[in-house]
Amino acid sequence: MRVLFFSAFPLLLGLCAGCATQSSTEPVEFLDERTAMTLAALKEPIELMPSAQHAALTLNKRTSFAYLGPVEWNRMGTISYGLWVHIAPGNDLQAADIRAPGAVTLVLDQGPLVLSLVESPTLGHDPYKPVVSWGQAAYFNLSTDTLKKMAASQKMELDVRAVDETTIMFYASHDTREALSAYAHSRGLTDD
């Protein structure tokens, strides 16, 4: 019996590791009971860190972070997409109102894309939880073409207008292609 346990143990560890790796990139789909709308999002939003230059200038201060994640809203077969953006402010340079026109720009390998605000449906349960309650969160228009570009892009930068009219640049803290590709694939947006 002990031999069986020890020979099966590596197999169990491998299966658990495979499940953990897979679940970290798999999208989450759920039904919002309040609206009867199906939503699809990443399990966790993508964290974006301030640029190294910005972090160096704010060495003794708590720095701001940004988070983003795609959302699919399925209203009885009518599908639309949005990009959730959350700014968790620190004690450094403060972001201006991210809902103002031109305040947020997504920069990918293909170049910059100024994001336009979109009103999200009133939901009983949002797909992403803000990291801090005093931060700013908004949804922006996201086309399927932009989502595919995000999934293929090696570079992901979010430029946010600061209150002093300068730009705060946030960069992905890790390679986002795997998670975004899995998301696009799960939504039927890729051919592979």
Q: What is the pLDDT of residues 25-74, one digit of tens each?
A: 578 999 998 888 999 999 999 999 997 654 445 455 678 999 999 999 99
At which residue do the structure tokens 């209150």 appear? 163
pLDDT of residue 60: 52
More confident residue, 18 or 83: 83
Task: Using DSSP, state whether 114 is helix, strand or coil.
Answer: strand
Contact of 108 with 83, CB cutoff 8 Å: no
Contact of 62 with 90, CB cutoff 8 Å: yes
62-85 CB burial, b ≥16 within 10 A, e <16: ebbbbbbbbbbbeeeeeebbbbbb
pLDDT above 60: residue 129: yes
pLDDT of residue 52: 63
